[in-house]
Amino acid sequence: MDHKKNKLLRQYTRKILKFYKDPTVIEFGSIRALERGSTFQIASTLNGKGKLYSFEKEIKHINYAKKICAAYLKNIIFVKGDCKKKFKDLAYKGLIKKVNLAFLDTTNDPKEALAEFKLVQPFITDPGFVLLHDVISGDTAKHIKPIIKSSYFWDLKTYPSIAGTMVIKRIK
């Protein structure tokens, strides 16, 4: 288990709770084994406040997450299927209007990571954060960093990457 990543998730969930009493958090990629992964870290830190939408294509992984997060299920909405398609569906229906914190953790594929970031970015509030896992170096970072750095809306500079996770703050 990645303790640094879990600590980071708790830290940013707490940050968001300072700004919003009823926050909307999304994650792309739920817990994939019987361990206290991201879904548990976020949901237990929210501890009854706001909502966590957890998008996951494998039903087996959703079932693991449900077991591990049994005490927090009231605040978690598991959405089974492809995260981009399902997120678009919920946004189109007006069920997700804004996102205060997004944790994107499906794949290291640069094209997919960029597509996920592009999809969620108009929904992120100011202040708000996107945590992109496993993309601080290599091809994915090469694709994503220049886009974020040149954007007026995002601050990457003052949010250093931790535990393999790129921390991006919405600033406008």
Q: Which is nearer to ligand SAM, 16 or 83 (CB)?
A: 83
73-92 residues near ligand SAM, rule: CB under 6 A: 82-83
Report phi then psi at 10, rounded to 5.
-65, -40
Q: Which is nearer to ligand SAM, 80 or 171 (CB)?
A: 80
Nearer to ligand SAM, 143 or 155 (CB): 143
Alpha-carbon span 36 to 65, nearest angstrom = 8
10 binds ligand SAM (CB under 6 A): no
Site for ligand SAM in 121-160 (CB under 6 A): none
Residues 15-34 that bind ligand SAM (CB under 6 A): 27-32
Burial of 79 (0-12, 13-18, 19+ CB in 10 A): buried
61 binds ligand SAM (CB under 6 A): yes
* Alpha-carbon span 25 to 97, nearest angstrom: 11
Contact status: 37 vs ligand SAM (CB under 6 A): yes
Residue 95 exposed, middle or buried by CB count within 10 Å (0-12, 13-18, 19+): exposed
Q: Does 45 bind ligand SAM (CB under 6 A)?
A: no
Instruction: Point out the residue whose Cβ comes nearest to ligand SAM.
Output: 37
Rounded to the nearest whole angstrom, what is the least distance from the CB of residue 84 to ligand SAM in the complex? 7
Q: Measured between alpha carbons, how far is 39 from 17 in angstroms, rounded to an integer? A: 16
Binding mask 102-121 for ligand SAM (x = CB under 6 A): ---xxx--------------
Helix axes 110-120, 138-149, angle to 10 degrees: 30
Per DSSP, 49 falls in state S
> Of 30 and 100, which CB lies nearer to ligand SAM in the complex structure?
30
Q: What is the dihedral of CA 104, 108, 111, 113, to 10 degrees?
A: 10
**Residues of this chain that bind ligand SAM (CB under 6 A):** 27-32, 37-38, 55-58, 61, 82-83, 105-107
